[in-house]
């Protein structure tokens, strides 16, 4: 089947759903495509085509990142549906590295949960500029006062992690009701919350300014082989422009390599407290966690500042880290620190020493 050429007639924005497991991220993603398909702005993607690996369907959770595209009247969107399962936070970091804005999904029945906090923090660390909140499953909560309390808790959490909690749009609704609706009327009440959400995303998440005049840089999210084509790398172009026939350098854990572009396609340090999913005990000199930078993770040896014996959960500290393997870094780059399946810290590179 011939591939359709990607026509850029509207501003392009990368968004994604983040939030706790089972709060409805994938259901909302499917509901957005269904609702916008009524206006011709999307191809409807059913839940099980987004949640597509066998172990995901079996457990009803999303592990690998799913990519969906759709359009509103104002913009074209690429949407990543991020995993909510703690074991797969690395994929969330990988997906968040591609986002110009995030849709935080919170169940009105549960309120913010541990992974809600972890995802908000990670969104801040990978510099997702704005967050819009979808308060899901409101049909399961009859008490208006309880809804307002959940909303207040979400706003306080966003403010804590340096987002503007007071101004953040919070849309209430039921993604499942929109998804399961048999109506084809765009004015049907079950679709209103989805249109309200996309209107908030259109207006609140800024159109990114693309750094086209800088050297080309694309963190590689995934690599796979295609018969007759060779190796295909996927990711979000962070800056610059690349064209077919141009030479590029691949820099990472192994020796740098040069390659030629044969085709371009589209669509196919803060220490955490225990409550944020962090460590329960201090760490000392010689601590060796995993450092997650863009789409790479590597072990690093931690050296504490002179005179500092330990770092306790909740501390801020300047660290000197020696990575076990050389990777591409630059000043100002955000990273997350993980240990034993938990995010225990997050920070920013202040200086690359060697």
Per-residue confidence (pLDDT) for residue 98, from 0 to 100? 64
**Same structural domain, 29 and 130:** yes
Last residue of a domain, one of 170, 204, 238: 204
pLDDT tens digit at each of 354 positions of the chain: 344 444 457 888 888 888 888 888 888 988 998 898 888 766 666 656 554 444 444 444 444 456 788 888 899 888 877 654 544 455 556 555 567 899 999 999 999 988 888 888 888 877 788 999 999 999 999 899 999 999 999 999 999 999 999 999 999 999 999 989 888 888 999 999 999 999 999 999 988 876 677 888 888 877 777 666 677 787 777 788 777 778 888 888 788 888 887 766 654 444 455 655 556 667 788 888 889 888 788 999 988 888 777 777 666 678 899 999 988 888 888 888 888 777 778 788 888 887
**Same structural domain, 182 and 331:** no
Last residue of a domain, one of 178, 204, 230: 204
DSSP string, 138-171: GGG---HHHHHHHHHHHHHHHHHTTS-TTT--EE
The residues near 264 (Cβ < 8 Å, ≥ 6 apart) are 242, 243, 244
Per-residue confidence (pLDDT) for residue 159, from 0 to 100? 95
**Same structural domain, 37 and 120:** yes
Catalytic residue among 12, 20, 26, 79: 26
Catalytic residue among 10, 22, 160, 303: 22
Examine residue 28 and state whether it is found in any structural domain, yes or no: yes
Active site residue 119: no
Active site residue 39: no
**Same structural domain, 251 and 123:** no
Last residue of a domain, one of 158, 178, 204: 204
**Same structural domain, 16 and 84:** yes
Examine residue 189 and state whether it is found in any structural domain, yes or no: yes
Examine residue 7 and state whether it is found in any structural domain, yes or no: no
Reading the block at residue 126, the tokens are 């990978």
Reading the block at residue 47, the tokens are 């839940």
Examine residue 345 and state whether it is found in any structural domain, yes or no: yes
Q: Which residues pair with 315 in a beta bridge?
A: none
Print the domain residue range for 146: 12-204
**Same structural domain, 178 and 253:** no
Active site residue 26: yes
DSSP string, 16-31: EEE-STTSSHHHHHHH
**Same structural domain, 167 and 237:** no
Beta pairing, strands 230-234 & 310-311: unpaired
Per-residue confidence (pLDDT) for residue 315, from 0 to 100? 65
Catalytic residue among 12, 20, 23, 25: 25
Residues 212/240, Cβ–Cβ less than 8 Å: yes
Percent of residues in the chain assigned helix, strand, coil, to nearest 5: 25, 25, 50
Per-residue confidence (pLDDT) for residue 49, from 0 to 100? 55
**Same structural domain, 27 and 153:** yes
Domain harbouring 312, CATH code: 2.40.30.10
**Same structural domain, 334 and 235:** no
**Same structural domain, 194 and 325:** no
Residue 227 CB burial class (10 angstroms; 0-12, 13-18, ≥19): exposed
pTM: 0.61
**Same structural domain, 231 and 316:** no
Catalytic residue among 67, 85, 90, 274: 85
Beta pairing, strands 131-136 & 170-172: parallel
Examine residue 211 and state whether it is found in any structural domain, yes or no: no
Reading the block at residue 257, the tokens are 């390599």
Total number of domains in the chain: 3
Active site residue 22: yes
């Amino acid at each position: 089947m011939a591939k359709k050429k990607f026509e850029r007639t509207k501003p392009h924005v990368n968004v994604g759903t983040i939030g706790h497991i089972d709060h409805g991220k994938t259901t909302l993603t499917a509901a957005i495509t269904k609702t916008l398909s009524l206006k011709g702005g999307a191809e409807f993607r059913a839940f099980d085509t987004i949640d597509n690996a066998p172990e995901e369907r079996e457990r009803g959770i999303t592990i690998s990142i799913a990519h969906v595209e759709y359009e509103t009247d104002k913009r074209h969107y690429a949407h990543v549906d991020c995993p909510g399962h703690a074991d797969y936070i690395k994929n969330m970091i990988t997906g968040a590295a591609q986002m110009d804005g995030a849709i935080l999904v919170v169940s009105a029945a549960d309120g913010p949960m541990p992974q809600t906090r972890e995802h908000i923090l990670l969104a801040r660390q990978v510099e997702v500029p704005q967050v819009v909140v979808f308060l899901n499953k409101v049909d399961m909560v009859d008490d208006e006062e309880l809804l307002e309390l959940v909303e207040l808790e979400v706003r306080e959490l966003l403010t804590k992690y340096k987002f503007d909690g007071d101004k953040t749009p919070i849309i209430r609704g039921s993604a499942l009701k929109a998804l399961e609706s048999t109506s084809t009327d765009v004015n049907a009440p079950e679709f209103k919350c989805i249109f309200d959400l996309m209107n908030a995303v259109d207006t609140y998440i800024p159109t990114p300014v693309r750094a086209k005049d800088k050297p080309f840089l694309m963190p590689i999210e995934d690599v796979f082989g295609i018969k007759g084509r060779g190796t295909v790398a996927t990711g979000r172009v962070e800056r610059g422009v690349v064209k077919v026939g141009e030479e590029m350098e691949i820099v990472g854990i192994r020796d740098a390599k040069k390659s030629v572009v044969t085709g371009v396609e589209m669509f196919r340090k803060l220490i955490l407290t225990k409550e944020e999913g962090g460590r329960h005990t201090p760490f000392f000199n010689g601590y060796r966690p995993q450092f997650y930078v863009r789409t790479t993770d590597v072990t690093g040896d931690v050296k504490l500042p002179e005179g500092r014996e330990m770092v306790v959960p909740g501390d801020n500290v300047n660290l000197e880290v020696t990575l076990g393997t050389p990777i591409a870094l630059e000043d100002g780059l955000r990273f997350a620190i993980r240990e034993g399946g938990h995010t225990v810290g997050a920070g920013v590179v202040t200086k690359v020493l060697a």
